[in-house]
Amino acid sequence: MLSLLFLGYPLFSPLLVRGQLAAAEAYTPTRVACPPDTSLVRLAGTGTSQSLNPSESAYVSSRQTLVLPSAWQSYLTTVQQQIEARNVSALPSYVSDILSGANGSSAYPTFGIATSGGGYRAAIVGAGALNALDGRNASAIEAGTGGLLQAATYITGLSGGNWLVTSLAQADFPTLSELVFQPNDVSGWGGWNAQYSLASPTSNTVQGLAYDLGLITEIQGKLLAGYPVSIVDLWARILARHFTNGTSANNYFDSSLPHGAGITFSSLTNLSTFVSYSQPFPIVVADSRSWSANFSNLYPDSDDNVPLTNPVYEFSVYEMGSFDPSLAAFTPMQYLGTEPGSDTCTVGFDQLSFIAATSSNIFSSFNYTSFLNGTNLLTPLLELFTQLSNDTESLDWLVTSRVPNPFYGLNEGTYLDSNATELALVDGGDDGEGIPFTPLLAKARGVDVIWATDGSGNITNWANGYVVSAAQARTELLSAYDFPPVPTDTATWLDEGLTTHPTFFGCNSSSPVPLLIYLANGAPPLGQAPLTNITTVQEAFEADDIEAAMSQMFDLTTQGMATEADGVWAKDPEWPACLACAVVDRSRAKAGVERSGVCETCMQKYCWS
Ligand SMILES: *[C@@H]1O[C@H](CO)[C@@H](O)[C@H](O)[C@H]1NC(C)=O
Ligand SMILES: *[C@@H]1O[C@H](CO)[C@@H](O)[C@H](O)[C@H]1NC(C)=O
Ligand SMILES: *[C@@H]1O[C@H](CO)[C@@H](O)[C@H](O)[C@H]1NC(C)=O
Ligand SMILES: *[C@@H]1O[C@H](CO)[C@@H](O)[C@H](O)[C@H]1NC(C)=O
Ligand SMILES: *[C@@H]1O[C@H](CO)[C@@H](O)[C@H](O)[C@H]1NC(C)=O
Ligand SMILES: *[C@@H]1O[C@H](CO)[C@@H](O)[C@H](O)[C@H]1NC(C)=O
Ligand SMILES: *[C@@H]1O[C@H](CO)[C@@H](O)[C@H](O)[C@H]1NC(C)=O
Ligand SMILES: *[C@@H]1O[C@H](CO)[C@@H](O)[C@H](O)[C@H]1NC(C)=O
Ligand SMILES: *[C@@H]1O[C@H](CO)[C@@H](O)[C@H](O)[C@H]1NC(C)=O
Ligand SMILES: *[C@@H]1O[C@H](CO)[C@@H](O)[C@H](O)[C@H]1NC(C)=O
Ligand SMILES: *[C@@H]1O[C@H](CO)[C@@H](O)[C@H](O)[C@H]1NC(C)=O
Ligand SMILES: CC(=O)N[C@H]1CO[C@H](CO)[C@@H](O)[C@@H]1O
């Protein structure tokens, strides 16, 4: 339909280019002289000689010195107050020794939070869980779980979870209700705007056409500047209206505004909460859809055709690359988009909306032909796009995120993308590992304990552990990462009820294997009617429905192993204590102290053996 309407429309005429929208201009990368002494590849090493980006090390170490001591103390106070209020057994003294700082700064755990993919559902349940861990929320304090978010060193996201992580970071780390619902902040953060459907935000045909055409116009500058574009760039411009600053309910269709174009991932270092080290360090991931992959390494039943051995790339404010041993290299985020062999450097390619779209590139599972046949999400846009790019040689590329390969020529023979001048990137969960564990398993980060929220939706939109089993399978194949033992089949996850209450994994392992605190969106809390198993493809939401789902997630996060008697449900009063026991457990073991008191019973109760 659309393509017929616009066939012959002079989309690429110089006229239109001159009249480029603010967004198009801000979205277009530019080539600049490379600053002297800039290396575009950092070799990160492997095993014990692995190194972090010096800027990341500096951020983390400042956060550890200036922010985390009081964050851990506040969390400890919260837990202790709840233990008293509930009249349950006191914590063994080693918990307070560790979290109060009495045993020195090296005793603090290094804590990371991971949020899975699963579309808007994953973003919503992830936000609900973070809200229950947020020390700024009085209900979370009363539940005895508030403050853990503030004590995290890292936060990772992929796909829908990456929408949560990137929007939270760029909005300057607001509370979760401000993040999701912020009404009409015209100049800055305007909330998720979830009432506007991702694919078709308006039922007004004229407005819809203008909107679609606007999206195309917004990515033209990038194409004309000689950079590869794809459907992922259109997706980026849509997501920008939901997950970056500059759009509110009132101006969603205002084509004179940049709608978040120009906000780059690398520029987030200027935010006040970043300058004060108040944010957990954000990282998102995407997979390589290498054309020369070893397809015998597909995770069983994974339907996205990305083998587990393909590189998983991570993106942070400082760099993009992978600790996977086949690559073990990074490029500065600021200069992402620089063509291999070029004597100029590209800036402005690392648009946050483009990274968010890359990590949530669900289009890869459509092949181009099937995409054009029928009505899929964005099909009309793709039709329009085809008219523009006319790139019949590489149609398959149009469903991947296209990034000039900073690592071209590196590690030939082991690094899968070595001979590709352009990376083809797809959704971070396409290999089956639907929770972004990989960055948290990098040896150089030394993460002791991981909180994972699983909002994937394998069974009637509930999580079934599949994505965690896949993560274990990947670490076995790559043998560069340590992962706690978890069930290998979904039957075990479900039969043992591991998805209906929080479960600890790796209780009998020791460092460097991290302890995993796993919370699945696997069943409604407290016997309530389910609201959180939202279908993955739902594209628009009423604020009330999001609020209700987040409220259920709050209960799910704070209930522990709930109990039922005569139809009355109760949260586990010991859950705050048990969670604290898990958080300090690696630090405890490193100090050579035995588990004792309530921690012993807690670990028996919540650990999977
Ligand atoms: C707390 O529990 C103990 C025993 O478990 C009991 O003796 C005591 O009376 C309880 N205190 C309150 C205030 O409920
Ligand atoms: C987004 O807007 C908020 C205020 O609503 C502001 O604090 C923050 O700095 C802005 N972030 C960016 C990247 O402009
Ligand atoms: C941070 O802000 C300063 C001053 O506005 C600017 O010069 C600099 O380029 C910004 N840094 C980044 C990484 O955007
Ligand atoms: C592909 O992976 C399989 C299973 O790990 C392995 O046996 C095989 O050698 C690999 N093939 C190539 C060409 O690397
Ligand atoms: C296109 O869609 C029609 C109707 O859904 C289907 O019958 C046909 O097989 C599809 N063709 C291709 C090439 O996918
Ligand atoms: C793409 O999908 C169509 C329709 O499903 C199918 O006929 C075709 O073989 C597929 N092409 C490739 C390269 O997989
Ligand atoms: C598209 O391809 C056709 C046929 O090869 C060619 O005539 C036309 O100039 C191309 N258009 C663009 C915009 O490249
Ligand atoms: C890249 O290498 C793979 C195998 O290592 C090969 O199949 C492929 O054709 C190569 N691609 C190019 C563009 O050279
Ligand atoms: C949600 O879960 C319930 C109970 O398992 C099921 O009956 C319902 O169909 C699910 N809803 C969706 C949208 O999948
Ligand atoms: C705290 O969390 C509760 C439970 O989800 C929510 O109802 C409330 O709005 C939150 N408060 C703030 C200030 O965000
Ligand atoms: C804390 O320090 C005390 C005194 O040095 C020591 O006895 C104890 O084992 C330490 N505990 C932990 C958990 O490090
Ligand atoms: C995409 C996905 O997760 N699929 C899996 C869902 O779980 C079943 C087993 O219960 C697997 O067979 C699917 O591959």
- pLDDT tens-digit profile of 34-75? 999 889 999 999 988 999 999 999 999 999 999 999 999 999
Residue 439 has a pLDDT of 98
Residue 11 has a pLDDT of 44
Residue 375 has a pLDDT of 59
Bigger pLDDT: 247 vs 373: 247
- Ligand 12: nearest atom to the Cα of 304: 1
pLDDT band, residue 193 (cuts 50/70/90): very high
Residue 535 has a pLDDT of 93
- When pLDDT is averaged across residues 216-245 and rounded to a whole number, the result is 93
Nearest protein CA to atom 9 of ligand 9, as residue: 460
Residue 545 has a pLDDT of 97
3-state DSSP assignment of residue 50: coil
Phi-psi region of 28 (alpha: psi -120 to 50; beta: other; left: phi over 0): beta
576 vs 553: CA distance, rounded Å = 16
Kindly state if the Cβ of 292 falls inside 6 Å of ligand 6: no
Determine the distance separating the centroid of ligand 1 and the alpha carbon of 89, expressed in angstroms.
10
Kindly state if the Cβ of 266 falls inside 6 Å of ligand 3: yes
The residue with tokens 């200036």 is 66
Nearest protein CA to atom 6 of ligand 9, as residue: 460
pLDDT band, residue 100 (cuts 50/70/90): very high
**Is pLDDT above 80 for 455?**
yes
Residue 386 has a pLDDT of 66
Kindly state if the Cβ of 271 falls inside 6 Å of ligand 2: yes
Q: Which two tokens stand for residue 279?
A: 């944010």
Nearest protein CA to atom 8 of ligand 8, as residue: 292
Residue 48 has a pLDDT of 83
281 strand-pairing partners: 154
Q: Which of 251, 235, 234, 236 is nearest to 193 (CA)?
A: 251
**Is pLDDT above 60 for 12?**
no
Residue 348 has a pLDDT of 98
Kindly state if the Cβ of 87 falls inside 6 Å of ligand 6: no
**Is pLDDT above 60 for 569?**
yes
pLDDT band, residue 435 (cuts 50/70/90): very high
Q: How far is CA 287 from the centre of its chain?
A: 13
CB neighbours (10 Å) of residue 100?
Answer: 15
**Is pLDDT above 50 for 434?**
yes
**Is pLDDT above 60 for 19?**
no
Least confident range from 19-33, 92-106, 546-560: namely 19-33
64 vs 225: CA distance, rounded Å = 42
Beta-carbon contacts of residue 497 (< 8 Å; ≥ 6 apart): none
- pLDDT tens-digit profile of 526-543? 999 999 999 988 889 999
- Ligand 10: nearest atom to the Cα of 553: 5
Determine the distance separating the centroid of ligand 7 and the alpha carbon of 390, expressed in angstroms.
6
**Is pLDDT above 70 for 495?**
yes
Closest ligand (CA of 418): 8
- When pLDDT is averaged across residues 347-366 and rounded to a whole number, the result is 92
The backbone torsions φ and ψ at residue 600, rounded to the nearest 5 degrees and listed phi first, read: -65, -45
Beta-carbon contacts of residue 551 (< 8 Å; ≥ 6 apart): 128
Statement: the pTM of the whole predicted model exceeds 0.85: yes
- When pLDDT is averaged across residues 230-239 and rounded to a whole number, the result is 93
Nearest protein CA to atom 11 of ligand 4, as residue: 294
pLDDT band, residue 209 (cuts 50/70/90): confident
- When pLDDT is averaged across residues 416-425 and rounded to a whole number, the result is 95
Residue 14 has a pLDDT of 38
Residue 114 has a pLDDT of 98
Determine the distance separating the centroid of ligand 6 and the alpha carbon of 373, expressed in angstroms.
10
3-state DSSP assignment of residue 345: strand
Q: Which two tokens stand for residue 402?
A: 């296209």
602 vs 581: CA distance, rounded Å = 7
Determine the distance separating the centroid of ligand 12 and the alpha carbon of 467, expressed in angstroms.
9
Residue 7 has a pLDDT of 33
Q: How far is CA 338 from the centre of its chain?
A: 24
Nearest protein CA to atom 6 of ligand 12, as residue: 458
**Prior bond to 524 cis, omega within 30?**
no
Q: How close are the terminal C-alpha atoms of the chain, in Å?
A: 57
pLDDT band, residue 4 (cuts 50/70/90): very low
Q: Which two tokens stand for residue 590?
A: 């490193």
Element of type H or E holding 518: strand 515-520
Q: Which residues line ligand 9 (CB under 6 A)?
A: 460-461, 530, 533, 535
Residue 2 has a pLDDT of 33
192 vs 180: CA distance, rounded Å = 5
434 vs 16: CA distance, rounded Å = 41
CB 123 within 8 A of CB 168: no
101 vs 93: CA distance, rounded Å = 12
- DSSP character for 357? H
Q: Which of 576, 470, 511, 540 is nearest to 145 (CA)?
A: 576
Residue 373 has a pLDDT of 65
Residue 10 has a pLDDT of 38
Kindly state if the Cβ of 419 falls inside 6 Å of ligand 8: yes
Closest ligand (CA of 416): 8
- Ligand 12: nearest atom to the Cα of 494: 10
157 vs 159: CA distance, rounded Å = 7
- pLDDT tens-digit profile of 124-146? 999 999 999 999 999 999 999 99
Closest ligand (CA of 379): 5
Residue 258 has a pLDDT of 95
Closest ligand (CA of 83): 1
pLDDT band, residue 376 (cuts 50/70/90): low
**Is pLDDT above 60 for 113?**
yes
Kindly state if the Cβ of 458 falls inside 6 Å of ligand 12: yes
The chain-wide mean pLDDT, for the chain, equals: 92
Residue 207 has a pLDDT of 92
Determine the distance separating the centroid of ligand 1 and the alpha carbon of 87, expressed in angstroms.
6
- When pLDDT is averaged across residues 99-107 and rounded to a whole number, the result is 96
Determine the distance separating the centroid of ligand 7 and the alpha carbon of 388, expressed in angstroms.
9
pLDDT band, residue 254 (cuts 50/70/90): very high
Between the alpha carbon of residue 470 and those of residues 12, 37, 301, 509, 535, the distances in Å are 45, 41, 10, 19, 22
Residue 91 has a pLDDT of 98
Least confident range from 170-174, 390-394, 408-412: namely 390-394
6 vs 21: CA distance, rounded Å = 19
Kindly state if the Cβ of 294 falls inside 6 Å of ligand 8: no
Bigger pLDDT: 593 vs 212: 593
